Amino acid sequence: MMAPTASATPSSDGAATVSAAVTAPASFTHPGVLLGKSQLDLIRTRVNGGVEPQKSAWSQMLASSYASLSYTPHPRSTVECGPSSNPDYGCSDEREDAIAAYTDALAWYVTGNTSYAKKAIQIMDAWSGTITTHTNSNAPLQTGWAGTVWSESAEIVKYTYGGGWSNSARFDTMLRNVYLPVVIQGAPDKNGNWELIMMDAAVGISVHLDDAASYNKAMSIFTGRVPAYVYTTSDGSQPAYPPRSSVNTTSELINYWFGQSTFVNGLAQETCRDFGHTGWGIDAIAHVAETARLQGTDLWSQLATRMRYTYEFHAGYDNGASVPSSICGGNANLGLGPVTEIGYSALHNRLGLSLANTQKYTLAHRPEGTDDHWIAWETLTHGDIGTPTSSDFSVSLSPVSGSVKAGSAVSAAVSTAVTSGSAESVALSASGLPSGASASFSPSSVTSGGSSTLTITTGAATPAGTYAVTVTGTAATGTHTATYTLTVTTGSAANDFSVALSPASGSVTAGSAATTTVSTAVTSGSAESVALSASGLPSGASASFSPSAVTSGGSSTLTITTSAATPAGTYAVTVTGTAATGTHTATYTLTVTAPSGGTCNPAWTATASYIPNDKVSYSGHNYTALYWSTGVTPGSAIAWNIWQDNGTC
């Protein structure tokens, strides 16, 4: 189970169609294509400080041929690229030269070695003084690949290197005349990665050229293409048609999605083609969102739900989950490639969302290097970048006070909870005990969200009095405390106990059952036998306890079973503990919903990741997700606060 976070929440509209037109800022920020100055500064600080993952990623980049100061560019006047770059007349040369220039630009900024800046300029000058056009069928995509990396390289050099770049204007002219007119047109009838990569190039070039009109046009095409590339169920029964394309019917759409007719959250247009091309499309979306962020528009928050779905969907299968027959006929061509660092940084670190599958994939593939096409060094530039959501927890006690005769013991339940970030190990300790007394915890440490039992044992010589005992939970992120008020008597202390419920409420469909844990504790005197009972049940419902009696300090499980005829409504069920010395009660709020008997939602699967408001069906019931989770079975004992049971279907 993935604990919910207390950070930014993505749009509840999974469609994540951008809510308003994305327009250029009054003035562009430079450097501002994929990387801004503060991020470049942080990269330099981390590399120089030997901080991972930048340390390993930096070593990987410097060891590549792209970082060689003897690198020789291979410019051509005409770059001809056929299908799958066959023929390849300058296609690989152009892509690799652009990556070399970008590599040198990064190396210059991190080291301050002007030789790298000069090498980047040499490569860019060689091309700006030579190339005039791209030809053959792959020309638009080739222009997008190279144009993306050229703009990233030029942005760093032009706005951070003070040594002069005499041919900077010529390079800008190359971008304006050779690249921008091609990529700005998009590719409405091609596979989606084409148009997304071309818009990545168009947006980056527009920023570099301070071209607001082209920026606005590129963003308009981009925001229309995203929901036609990544599907969520809130889009409707099928994905959006690609804008401006010839795909206009359901059958044409299914063919366009490589025969996939079952649409689930996170599925992409090219999923059933292969994950490699899909990864390109996803990373192009991430690139544009990063550049937009640097220019003052937060696309990530608007696209968070959609992007989280697609990262988790694809990473889960790449991590080894079985592909069901409903997805690509059960035969997916896996291998996303080095494409998850930017999205993971944005969604997890900055927005605080849980992406367990993506995290596993990203860590397993670090450092992400280059695909030799247009993606390069994204572990170095984005690995663990952003403001992570700090993990935190709370500590509470039940009861918060108790009385004990010297020489006897008293107990309390210690509960912890995740208040932000992820669950972590919490060690428990107690201080402020009177002389002759000791404290023990069972267990002595828990994972935040878990509970323990505190037992305070006094000695016969422990002085009478009232003491504030501090219970401390210590984790890697810090400490939290709770106070237990202990009263020690030397006379005959009356036996007493308390009763508590966890959870204190639950919802159940008529005909099903709900469970809760009943905890008791000694609050004074000695432990005694406590019989448990329940009252206030709705008609047709019954309650059972396992066990039906405990020694105070012990716990039991209450199961409330309803019948199909139990009326819908909310009921206050009183749980009573009865001992020789008296009774204590606790209230359980039971909500009963009527069986729906409606249409079943899409079936729950153990490998999928779900977020709030996702709707699934399982074992004949419809459920709505209350929190993020993976592998938590609806209706199971641990799912009471994860899935809401909406009745039978």
469: pLDDT strictly greater than 90: yes
User: Whole-angstrom Cα distance, residue 141 to residue 277?
Assistant: 12
Which positions ≥6 away from 404 have C-beta within 8 Å? 410, 456, 458, 486, 487, 488, 489, 493, 522, 524, 525
Q: What is the mean pLDDT of residues 144-160?
A: 99
390 falls in which pLDDT band (50, 70, 90)? low
Name the one residue in this structure whose structure tokens are 């394309």: 245
Q: What is the mean pLDDT of residues 598-618?
A: 77
Contact 33, 291 (CB under 8 A): yes
612: pLDDT strictly greater than 70: no
Task: Give residue 220's pLDDT.
Answer: 96
Which of 387, 379, 344 shows the shortest CA–CA distance to 53? 379
- Walk me through the domains of the chain, giving residue ranges and CATH numbers: 32-382 (1.50.10.100), 392-493 (2.60.40.10), 494-595 (2.60.40.10), 600-649 (2.10.10.20)
The b/e string for 64-75 (b: 16+ C-beta within 10 A; e otherwise) is: bebbeeebebeb
Q: What is the mean pLDDT of residues 560-588?
A: 92
User: Whole-angstrom Cα distance, residue 452 to residue 416?
Assistant: 9
User: Whole-angstrom Cα distance, residue 357 to residue 314?
Assistant: 9
Task: Give residue 272's pLDDT.
Answer: 98
Range in 257-261, 436-440, 566-570, 591-595 the model is least confident about: 591-595
Length of the chain: 649
DSSP per residue over 560-590, as a string?
A: EE--TTSPSEEEEEEEEEEETTEEEEEEEEE
Task: Give residue 80's pLDDT.
Answer: 98
Most confidently modeled of 31-35, 406-410, 520-524?
Answer: 31-35
Contact 601, 586 (CB under 8 A): no
490 falls in which pLDDT band (50, 70, 90)? confident
Tokens of 483: 């106070």
Position 364: which residue type? A
CB atoms within 10 A of CB 504: 12
DSSP, res 67: G
185 falls in which pLDDT band (50, 70, 90)? very high
Q: What is the pLDDT of residues 52-73, one digit of tens each?
A: 999 999 999 999 999 999 999 9
- At 521 the three-state DSSP class reads strand
User: Whole-angstrom Cα distance, residue 309 to residue 299?
Assistant: 16
Q: What is the mean pLDDT of residues 119-139?
A: 98
3: pLDDT strictly greater than 50: no
Q: What is the mean pLDDT of residues 621-644?
A: 71
Task: Give residue 640's pLDDT.
Answer: 58
Q: What is the mean pLDDT of residues 438-453?
A: 92
Task: Give residue 526's pLDDT.
Answer: 83
User: Whole-angstrom Cα distance, residue 614 to residue 643?
Assistant: 9
Bridge-partner residues for 617, per DSSP?
603, 622
Q: What is the mean pLDDT of residues 520-548?
A: 93
DSSP, res 493: P
254: pLDDT strictly greater than 90: yes
451: pLDDT strictly greater than 80: yes
7: pLDDT strictly greater than 50: no
CB atoms within 10 A of CB 335: 12
Q: What are the C-alpha distances in Å from 19 to residues 224, 227, 306?
A: 11, 12, 14
Task: Give residue 14's pLDDT.
Answer: 37
Task: Give residue 447's pLDDT.
Answer: 87
Task: Give residue 19's pLDDT.
Answer: 56
User: Whole-angstrom Cα distance, residue 336 to residue 334?
Assistant: 7
Q: What is the pLDDT of residues 196-245, one digit of tens each?
A: 999 999 999 999 999 999 999 999 999 999 999 999 998 999 999 999 99
418: pLDDT strictly greater than 90: no
C-alpha torsion angle, residues 635, 637, 643, 645 (rounded to 10): 40
Q: Which residue has the higher pLDDT, 532 or 16?
A: 532
Which of 188, 183, 189 shows the shortest CA–CA distance to 203? 183
- At 226 the three-state DSSP class reads helix
Task: Give residue 511's pLDDT.
Answer: 84
Which of 485, 563, 499, 566 shows the shortest CA–CA distance to 528? 499
Task: Give residue 598's pLDDT.
Answer: 59
Q: What is the mean pLDDT of residues 124-147?
A: 98
Task: Give residue 641's pLDDT.
Answer: 59
User: Whole-angstrom Cα distance, residue 557 to residue 207?
Assistant: 62
